[in-house]
Structure 1
Amino acid sequence: MMDYKKLLVVVDPTTDKQVALARAVKLAKQNNASITVFLSIYDFSYEMTSILSGHEREAMREGVIAQRKAWLTDVVKPFEVDITIETEVVWHNRPFESIINQAIEGKYDVIVKGTHEHDKLKSVIFTPTDWHLLRKAPVPVLLVKDHDWPVAGKILCAINVSTEDPVNNSLNEQIIKHARNLAKEFNAQVHLVNGYPGTPVNLAVELPDFDSQTYSETIRIQHHQRTKELAALYNIPNDCCHVKEGLPEDVIPDVAEKLDAELVILGTVGRTGFSAALIGNTAEHVIDSINCDLLAVKPEGYKSPLESL
């Protein structure tokens, strides 16, 4: 389902500028969609106030929630022009779990959340909540930065053509379908980016007869060919295909900056443990270096580990 008919917006209580809500309103108006603005709050001190009875602690919690609901109503008011916005405040000690649970139970199509900008470097600093959402949310996650989505802008799809396994193919397909859908709504242009590995230095050193030039050329041709084949399936012109030697975390931000893309779409496979740390490291470099929004999508049929809890 590529239509964003139900948007779950995660609000940031630490800032006055709600970039995620502004972006969601723009998306919702294009889709005639509904928006729920969501806030997860928790204060450990309320749980630990042993001199209070359980009933009194509950009353304090309800008081804090009521205050936050009133604040949220004020936050959404300026955005409620030709659109109705629901609000939801939940008491939960793990924000990412409450967000994902809300997305699952409410059958939302996309989670929209603002990112933190690091003033000194102007790069995006992702919080633990962002990382959990990228890995575990069963719906697409749009992480928003304060960067315009101009008319006739550019959407950059980070694809992987180094392997042809079904999960990878499904991810490439999902990424491009989301891009095409958004491109249609915002009159944008879809671009593909692919980074391919250079010659492993140890091979060249350990095998004196190893022809590194031929090896590099073979890899280059293969990646160009596969990217063009994928582009042809979706009528994406060759001049919108960007295939470069290098690691994805270097190639993707570089191309995004040169194009002045408003959105980078990449796939996340929701792994956990050691492989997640490796993937997280790559993704972290990519998204800490781009100066635009990021949409993370899962392969078709992905189930969140929280869905079985």
Structure 2
Amino acid sequence: MSCVNNILVVLDADKQQQKALNRAMHLARISQASITLLLSIYDFSYEMTTMLAAEERDAMRDSLINDRKAWIQDLLEDYNTRDLDISMKVVWHHRPYEAIIETALAGEHDIIVKATHPHEGLAHILFTPTDWHLLRKAPCLVLLVKEHQWPEHGKVLAAIHTTGEHEHHDSLNARITEAAQRFANCLHSEVHLVNAYPGAPVTIAAEIPEFDTANYREVIADNHKVALAEHAERFAIPAAQQHVREGLPEQIIPQLAEELDAELVVLGTIGRTGFSAALLGNTAEHVIEQINCDLLAVKPASFESPVKL
């Protein structure tokens, strides 16, 4: 089973070591997939050169694009590209995430592979980086690459939400699990499922002294275990690889990923825009900061990217 067919790799313009390219080439070899290398560049000073005619500015911009294409060619000399179908694209765009999504749409890529780096302080809240835009708006799978290796016979952790009240929860759970199994099959790894559920609200115990908190927690845990087991049965995932834990997903998922030494965490992400996206983010955005392995983000089947060609 092939993991992917058409890979879009986002290059780091200022780095010689390309984590995303390394990962994409690994994927391409085991899946016989094609690779497109994308570099989005922009220099505002070129647009401000009012003394030059439009044709001269275009010539300067084209020269810079050609320089970056030559840089990519030099970069590839350090890699074993034998038997790989690799193309490259350098685009001039002032919003990198839009360039990435537009390229993914135009090329019908089924996955975007990008290295991710730590975002310190409040930077990722006040100024949303490209990673977050891709998690919210990309039309296909997004693989954010960290330092953890992909050993064979490792573990892929799929985070799902059971006991959802809406049909789209079941659909997204299936898409997450299917993606996890595809990658696990390619990597000769095993899939583990995790479902985090909230504990008893503290306010209930305070306001209703006779409320049996222990019984409530037990009932909730049992409900989630049953729901997870039913979901796992559809995909032939054994009980030993099913994990139901009390707590917030952004706490439970990184904890279990570390315990399992997972090579990949797979979870669903829904698009958000506006002020709520800037301040709240979603589970994927909280999790990626805390795990030391790669994250694969899966969109609902009905998702349409707000970035259009």
Q: Per-residue deviation at 1:141?
A: 0.2
Are the equivalent residues in 2 in contact too, given 1:220–1:245 (CA < 8 A)?
Answer: yes
Q: 1:280-299, aligned counterparts within 5 Å?
A: 280-299=281-300
Partner of 1:48: 48
TM (norm. structure 1) is 0.93
* Amino acid across the alignment from 2:138: A
Are the equivalent residues in 1 in contact too, given 2:284–2:297 (CA < 8 A)?
Answer: no
Q: Per-residue deviation at 1:128?
A: 1.0
Q: Which runs of 5+ in 2 are unaligned?
A: 121-126
Partner of 1:195: 196
Take 2:143 and 2:224, find their aligned partners in 1: how far apart are those partners? 28
Take 1:176 and 1:73, find their aligned partners in 2: how far apart are those partners? 37
Q: Per-residue deviation at 1:275?
A: 5.0
Q: Match of 1:65, SS? A: helix
Q: Per-residue deviation at 1:207?
A: 2.1
Q: Per-residue deviation at 1:28?
A: 0.7
RMSD across aligned positions (CA) = 1.9
Are the equivalent residues in 2 in contact too, given 1:2–1:177 (CA < 8 A)?
Answer: no
Take 1:172 and 1:2, find their aligned partners in 2: how far apart are those partners? 20
Q: 1:142-221, aligned counterparts within 5 Å?
A: 142-221=143-222
Partner of 2:124: none
Q: Per-residue deviation at 1:241?
A: 0.8
Partner of 1:23: 23
Take 2:177 and 2:298, find their aligned partners in 1: how far apart are those partners? 10
Q: Match of 1:4, SS? A: coil
Using the TM superposition, name which of 45-54 and 274-283 deviates more.
Answer: 274-283
Q: Which runs of 5+ in 1 are unaligned?
A: 120-125
How many residues are aligned here? 302
Are the equivalent residues in 1 in contact too, given 2:7–2:109 (CA < 8 A)?
Answer: yes
Q: Match of 2:281, SS? A: helix
Q: Match of 2:91, SS? A: strand
Take 1:241 and 1:276, find their aligned partners in 2: how far apart are those partners? 31
Partner of 2:238: 237
Take 2:232 and 2:2, find their aligned partners in 1: how far apart are those partners? 19
Take 1:267 and 1:2, find their aligned partners in 2: how far apart are those partners? 20
Q: Per-residue deviation at 1:2?
A: 7.2
Q: Match of 1:235, SS? A: coil
Take 1:208 and 1:96, find their aligned partners in 2: how far apart are those partners? 52
* Amino acid across the alignment from 2:62: E
Using the TM superposition, name which of 245-254 and 211-220 deviates more.
Answer: 211-220
Take 2:168 and 2:232, find their aligned partners in 1: how far apart are those partners? 18
- Give the 3 Å change call, closer, same or farther, for CA 3–257 of structure 1 in structure 2: closer
Partner of 2:73: 73
Take 2:41 and 2:115, find their aligned partners in 1: how far apart are those partners? 16
Using the TM superposition, name which of 252-261 and 182-191 deviates more.
Answer: 182-191
Identity of aligned residues (%): 55
Using the TM superposition, name which of 233-242 and 206-215 deviates more.
Answer: 206-215
Q: Per-residue deviation at 1:15?
A: 1.5
Take 1:160 and 1:279, find their aligned partners in 2: how far apart are those partners? 19
* Amino acid across the alignment from 1:221: D
Q: Per-residue deviation at 1:88?
A: 0.3
Are the equivalent residues in 2 in contact too, given 1:167–1:299 (CA < 8 A)?
Answer: yes
Take 2:296 and 2:165, find their aligned partners in 1: how far apart are those partners? 22
Take 1:259 and 1:25, find their aligned partners in 2: how far apart are those partners? 25
Are the equivalent residues in 2 in contact too, given 1:113–1:142 (CA < 8 A)?
Answer: yes
Take 1:184 and 1:111, find their aligned partners in 2: how far apart are those partners? 20
Take 2:233 and 2:65, find their aligned partners in 1: how far apart are those partners? 52
* Amino acid across the alignment from 1:219: I
Are the equivalent residues in 2 in contact too, given 1:22–1:79 (CA < 8 A)?
Answer: no
- Give the 3 Å change call, closer, same or farther, for CA 25–215 of structure 1 in structure 2: same
Q: Per-residue deviation at 1:113?
A: 0.4
Take 2:221 and 2:175, find their aligned partners in 1: how far apart are those partners? 24
Q: Per-residue deviation at 1:272?
A: 2.3
Q: Per-residue deviation at 1:191?
A: 0.2
Q: Match of 1:116, SS? A: coil
Q: 1:2-21, aligned counterparts within 5 Å?
A: 3-21=3-21
Are the equivalent residues in 2 in contact too, given 1:9–1:38 (CA < 8 A)?
Answer: yes
Q: Match of 1:17, SS? A: coil
Are the equivalent residues in 2 in contact too, given 1:24–1:112 (CA < 8 A)?
Answer: yes
Q: Per-residue deviation at 1:278?
A: 6.5
Q: 1:272-287, aligned counterparts within 5 Å?
A: 272-273=273-274, 276-277=277-278, 280-287=281-288
TM (norm. structure 2) is 0.93
